[in-house]
Amino acid sequence: MKFDDATNDLSIYAGFAGLSGVTTVAHIHCCTAAAGTGTVGVAVTPGTLPGFPGGVSAGAYSALIDLDLATSFTAAFVNNFGGGTVAGARTALFAGLDAGTAYFNIHTNAFPGGEIRAFPERVPEPASLLLGAMGIGALVLTRCGRRRL
């Protein structure tokens, strides 16, 4: 998953194969009590993620979700984790991704509660990574310059 800080868009890329059943729905859950374990209600997209392939046992998925929209979250998540606001829900989701308490879940007819569960980490969009690298480089150059004086 990648997040664009400028647009508040969440990019999701997932590949899956070898499922015991065929896909029914997929969504992002947040926020479990402990990192990498447990279950919790759906946070992102009521129903299923937009365009997620249903009725298949293998495939790939890619989507861009606008996290400025209330419709991108479940009402329960906005109210229980987001303090009643979309901005709060977005903040709670990113805190969950950073803490390892949010998970991507693919449900199948063989496992209606979810056959695949992955606890992804949030990855900043490339411009943020470049900016961070430039900042680190500037610090290194500054420190090297001080040693020479």
Domain ranges of the chain: 2-124
The Cα 119–Cα 141 span in angstroms is: 37
Strand order in the sheet with 2-4: 59-66, 9-16, 2-4, 123-124
The Cα 59–Cα 57 span in angstroms is: 7
Q: How far is CA 96 from CA 35, 36, 72, 127, in A?
A: 9, 10, 16, 22
Q: What's the pLDDT tens digit per position in 103-112? A: 999 999 999 9
Q: What's the pLDDT tens digit per position in 28-58? A: 999 999 988 889 999 998 889 999 999 999 9
1 contacts 122 by C-beta, under 8 angstroms: yes
Determine what percent of the chain is predicted with pLDDT higher than 70. 81
Kindly report which listed range (14-28, 48-62, 63-77, 134-148) carries the lowest average pLDDT score.
Answer: 134-148
Quick check: 9 pLDDT over 60?
A: yes
DSSP state letters, 24-54: EEEEEEE--SSTT-----EEESSSS-TTPPP
Mean pLDDT of the chain: 84
pLDDT of residue 36: 85
Type of residue numbered 125: E
